[in-house]
């Protein structure tokens, strides 16, 4: 090899090693499972702190996306900023299916999700740009459609009727298997209220991924089977107390 070629080769090899070392140092690709997290707008504000404004758009009458989270890892890279133009093609779908309920701009929510979780997913080709990452999450609503699974099982939002945990779980098993977690909050009347659903996916998007010692980042608790579970209807006029 010519000297120039050797130098170029050494330079490229060094850059490659440095990039690899950087990725390993921050654990970029260390995750095995992804959590696809969907939330129920009807109860999002039930346990929301008073310092947050809560606004539920009337058309958010379906389960919405909270995020797509590589497990056990957060905030991988502040070096990859997100701009509105990155999501221009998806913004209509995102506004419908991935809205914020905090009376803030939805873009701010998407940017936080990208910063916290998306940048850690980017080492997989399927997520290697913001539009791929957000597009992949939107696409997951089809196989993991909670609204349809509940409707098929006759599980409908109600202030009067409550459900057993196993009834809700059984409705979801056909589409997402056993490895799902329903999360609840407790309202002012000590009712257990369904608010969020997490399904754990392999990087090929199949459900059922299990990871030992996985850390959870969530203000919500797993719903428990000792008391019945309320699935509150949407009440945009009184979202903190949809069922007084
Ligand atoms: C939402 O924010 C606007 C502007 O800051 C404010 O005027 C309005 O009262 C807020 N709405 C709620 C429900 O907090
Ligand atoms: C709850 O019950 C009341 C009275 O029985 C009924 O009028 C109301 O429509 C019910 N609400 C829901 C959300 O099922
Ligand atoms: C997805 O990946 C998991 C784990 O590698 C594997 O067990 C499963 O068969 C794969 N599913 C599909 C549909 O390829």
Which-ligand-closest: CA of 157? 2
Q: What confidence tier does 14 reach under pLDDT thresholds 50, 70, 90?
A: very low
102 close to ligand 1 (CB < 6 Angstrom): no
Could you tell me if residue 189 is inside a domain? yes
- pLDDT tens digits, residue range 24-55? 445 667 888 999 999 999 999 999 988 999 99
Query: Ligand 2 pocket by C-beta < 6 Å: which residues?
Result: 158-160, 233
Could you tell me if residue 89 is inside a domain? yes
**CATH number of the domain residue 120 falls in:** 3.90.730.10
- pLDDT tens digits, residue range 115-162? 999 999 988 889 999 999 999 999 999 999 999 999 999 999 999 999
| 66 in active site | yes
Rounded CA gap, 72 and 211, in Å?
9
pTM: 0.86
Is residue 125 exposed (0-12), middle (13-18) or buried (19+ Cβ within 10 Å)? exposed
Report in angstroms the alpha-carbon separations of 28 from 20, 46, 81, 199.
Answer: 10, 35, 16, 21
Over range 210-226, report the average pLDDT.
Answer: 81
Could you tell me if residue 18 is inside a domain? no
Say which of 62, 97, 117, 125 is annotated catalytic.
117
The parent domain of residue 64 ranges over: 30-230
Could you tell me if residue 224 is inside a domain? yes
CA of 103 to the centre of ligand 1 (A): 6
CA of 112 to the centre of ligand 3 (A): 30
**Cα–Cα nearest to 183, from 226, 234, 138, 218:** 218
Residues in the chain: 244
Say which of 66, 166, 181, 212 is annotated catalytic.
66
Could you tell me if residue 145 is inside a domain? yes
CA of 41 to the centre of ligand 1 (A): 18
| 224 in active site | no
**The pairing of beta strand 34-39 with beta strand 64-70:** antiparallel
Report in angstroms the alpha-carbon separations of 158 from 60, 95, 108, 168, 204.
Answer: 16, 26, 32, 14, 36
Over range 215-220, report the average pLDDT.
Answer: 72
Rounded CA gap, 213 and 12, in Å?
37
Output the six-digit token pair for 73: 């890892």
Could you tell me if residue 17 is inside a domain? no
**Cα–Cα nearest to 130, from 141, 139, 122:** 122
204 close to ligand 3 (CB < 6 Angstrom): yes
Output the six-digit token pair for 173: 């098993």
- pLDDT tens digits, residue range 166-211? 999 999 999 999 888 999 999 999 999 999 999 999 999 999 998 8
Q: What confidence tier does 16 reach under pLDDT thresholds 50, 70, 90?
A: very low
* Ligand 1 atom closest to Cα of residue 103: 1
Query: Per the structure, how many domains does the chain have?
Result: 1
| 170 in active site | no
Could you tell me if residue 193 is inside a domain? yes
Could you tell me if residue 226 is inside a domain? yes
35 phi, psi to nearest 5 deg: -100, 125
């Amino acid at each position: 090899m010519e000297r120039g070629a050797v130098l170029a080769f050494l330079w490229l090899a060094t850059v490659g090693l440095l990039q690899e070392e950087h990725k390993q140092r921050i654990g970029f690709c260390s995750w095995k499972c992804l959590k696809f997290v969907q939330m129920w707008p009807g109860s999002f504000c039930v346990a929301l702190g008073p310092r947050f404004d809560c606004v539920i758009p009337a058309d958010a009458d379906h389960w919405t996306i909270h995020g797509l989270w590589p497990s056990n890892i957060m905030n991988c890279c502040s070096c990859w900023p997100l701009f509105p133009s990155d999501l221009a093609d998806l913004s209509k779908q995102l506004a419908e299916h991935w809205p914020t309920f905090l009376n803030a701009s939805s873009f701010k929510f998407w940017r936080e999700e990208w910063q916290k979780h998306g940048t850690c997913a980017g080492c997989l080709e399927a997520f290697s740009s913001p539009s791929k990452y957000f597009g992949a999450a939107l696409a997951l609503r089809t196989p993991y459609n909670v609204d349809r699974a509940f409707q098929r099982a006759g599980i409908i939002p109600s202030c009067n009727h409550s459900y057993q945990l196993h009834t809700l779980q059984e409705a979801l098993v056909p589409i997402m298997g056993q490895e799902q977690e329903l999360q609840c909050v407790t309202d002012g009347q000590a009712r257990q209220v369904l608010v969020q659903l997490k399904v754990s996916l392999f990087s090929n998007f199949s459900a059922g991924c299990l990871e030992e010692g996985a850390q959870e980042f969530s203000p919500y608790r797993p719903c428990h089977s000792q008391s019945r579970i309320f699935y509150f209807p949407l009440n945009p006029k009184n979202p903190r107390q949809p069922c007084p």
